[in-house]
Amino acid sequence: MIDLISLLYYKVIMPSIDDFNSDPLIGKRLGTCTILKELARGGMGIVFIAYQQTLKRQIALKLIPKSYFKSEVTERFQREAEAAAILSHPNIVPIYEIGETEEFLFFTMQLVKGDSLSRVLEKIQSHFLLSRRILPIKATIRIILQLLDALDYAHNEEIIHRDIKPDNILMEKHTKRPLISDFGLAKVLRGDNLDFVVRGTPAYMAPEQILGLKVDGRADIYGVGVVLFEMLVPELPLLENEAIESFLKRKAYDKKGVFLKNPSDLNPNLHREMDEIVSRSISYDPEDRYPTCRDFLRSLEKYQENYLK
């Protein structure tokens, strides 16, 4: 167990590469691809749109400059690619190629045309009509069921994601299909000893993850539970302007949890049974959560049958 008094931002938030100049990389070739333009960047790397000459298609290419991080971080990046590459599921972004140069580690993957779920929710929650500021319940459950099916598959392959959040869920524009991306925090259960510090995104992290305890698939269930909660209400019911250290301490030690209201308190269209489903998925103790994603999925299917005919 870690001492939360000494827990600092850098132990929770990935190192930043905001100051990296990617302009010289445009037009350069990595592996079988030519880099076209930057698409996004985050703590674990920079994502570009690239053109794969061998198959004549646009794909996404993610790279990390080795000089910006310690070897432990580059090992995590390599692990992200390797973990995701063994997974084949319609709701997980597929990995095509893994490579390394003197300066960079990189991998290529499907280019998903659409927004992240966080961007989708941001647009909905800022709608000028109050009645349109929540995603329809049927659409929410449809998305969550697909995510749970994908994670159930990953868990059966002995891989947990550990950073489930709207930013890491991509919504395909035409099919509305959700795809899980960024296995940068994934832990392969077949003997992985790289993780010694807390990593993740605070609002979606399970308490045991914050405490540095052993983590299994139920940490992903917690993350999905928070995402479900967020999709069902106008805004997550958290204390305003709370410092991250205070939030993490409460989340780690307060068994009542950090959320101040139930989903049905904020969305009158929800039946109280949804409160029980969300509450169980984000229980403080992993033993009180759904034992598997499949069990969580079945509860939502039952809710759908009973209340959304």
Which pLDDT tens digit goes with each residue over 81-124? 788 888 999 999 998 988 889 888 888 999 999 999 999 999 99
Assigned domain for 2 exists: no
Q: Are 253 and 283 in contact (CB under 8 A)?
A: no
Please report the pLDDT score of residue 43 as a whole number: 64
Q: Which domain holds residue 199?
A: 114-307
- Res 244 pLDDT > 80: yes
Assigned domain for 135 exists: yes
Q: Which of 18, 152, 163, 265 is catalytic?
A: 163
Residue 34's domain is classified under what CATH number?
3.30.200.20
120 in the same domain as 180: yes
Least confident of 83-97, 146-160, 193-207: 193-207
Higher pLDDT, 57 or 17: 57
Assigned domain for 132 exists: yes
147 in the same domain as 60: no
Domain boundary among 89, 109, 129: 109
Express each pLDDT in 259-288 by its tens digit: 999 999 999 999 999 999 999 999 999 999
Could you confirm whether 163 is annotated as catalytic?
yes
C-alpha span between 97 and 37 (Å, rounded): 19
Record the pTM: 0.89
263 in the same domain as 196: yes
Least confident of 95-104, 191-200, 223-232: 191-200
Please report the pLDDT score of residue 82 as a whole number: 81
